[in-house]
Amino acid sequence: MNRIVLPAAVETPWEENNQVPALVAWPDGKPRAGIVALHGYTGAKETMEDIVGGLAEWGYLVVAPDLPLHGERALGPAGGFEYPFFGDPAGIVKSFENALADVRTCADYLRELSDGPARLGILGWSLGGCLTILSMARMAGLFETGVSVVGAAKLARLLLTSAVCTDIRDDLLAMGYDEERLEPILRSVEATEHSAAVRNLLMFGAEDDDIVPGALVRETFDAFPEPSNELIMFDGCGHYPPLMTVADSTLPFLARTF
C-alpha cells in the first residue's frame, strides 16, 4: 500500500485542501477492476486500510483519498477535523461538490494508469457511503457498481437527525433551517434527484443506527427502483456492521456486477 498525492480539481482558500493525498493498493496480477474507496465523517484514508487491503487481496486496484477537510487536509489543531462553514448552509453543498470532484480525480487516476483497469467501482463507509450513492447518481456510467455501508441520501433529513454532526445541525437550526427549508439548498447534491442513474448499488444499513438512521437507509433504497440494486439491513450493531459480514456479501456482489 503506497501513499500518493493527486492534484485537487477545485481550488479552495485552504492550502491543505488543494491536493488529494491517497492510499493505493495493487493486487497480485492484473486487476479485476479499479475501486475508489471513501472513508467516513471525521475519518481519514488510513481508517480504510483494512477495507483497501481486503479489496486488493480480492484482485482489485484500490485508491482511497482523504476527503476534503479530513485526514491530511484537516484544518483543526493537530490535524483534527474542523468544519469551516458555520453560518453558511451552502457550505454543505461546497463540501459535497469538492468531494465529488476528488472522486472523479481518483477515477481518472485509475483509468490513466497504463496497466490499470478499464472498469471502475466505488465503495464507501458512512459519509463515504453517502458520497458513493451521490457519485453513482451524478456521474452516470462512470462506475459500474457501488457499495454503500451505512450511507444514505435525503441529505437535509440526515444532517438534521444524525447523532454525529450535532454542531452542524445546531448551527442550521439556529439560522432557522428545518428540513423543508434546507432541502432546496441541498438539491444539487441530493442523489435521489437522479434516481434513474443508480444501478448495481449494494446498500448496507442498521436498524439501530443513530448516525445514519436505518429508516433513512431504507427510504434511500426505495428511491432507486432499479432491480439490480440490493439492500442488506443489520440490527444490534449501530453504525458499525461487522466488517467480515459486510465483506461476505460485498465480494459476490462485486463479482456479479463487474
Q: Which domains does the chain have, with CATH numbers?
A: 2-257 (3.40.50.1820)
Please write the tens of the pLDDT for every residue from 244-258. 999 999 999 999 999
The three-state DSSP-derived secondary structure of the chain is: CEEEEEECCCCCCCHHHCEEEEEEECCCCCCCCEEEEECCCCCCHHHHHHHHHHHHHCCCEEEEECCCCCHHHCCCHHHCCCCCCCCCCHHHHHHHHHHHHHHHHHHHHHHHCCCCCCCEEEEEECHHHHHHHHHHHHCCCCCCEEEEECCCCCHHHHHHHCCCCHHHHHHHHHCCCCHHHHHHHHHHHCHHHHHHHCCCEEEEEECCCCCCCHHHHHHHHHCCCCCCCEEEEECCCCCCCCHHHHHHHHHHHHHHHC
Average pLDDT over residues 132-138: 98
The predicted structure's pLDDT at residue 118: 79
115, pLDDT greater than 90: no
Q: How confident is the model at residue 130 (pLDDT cuts 50, 70, 90)?
A: very high
pLDDT at 114: 61
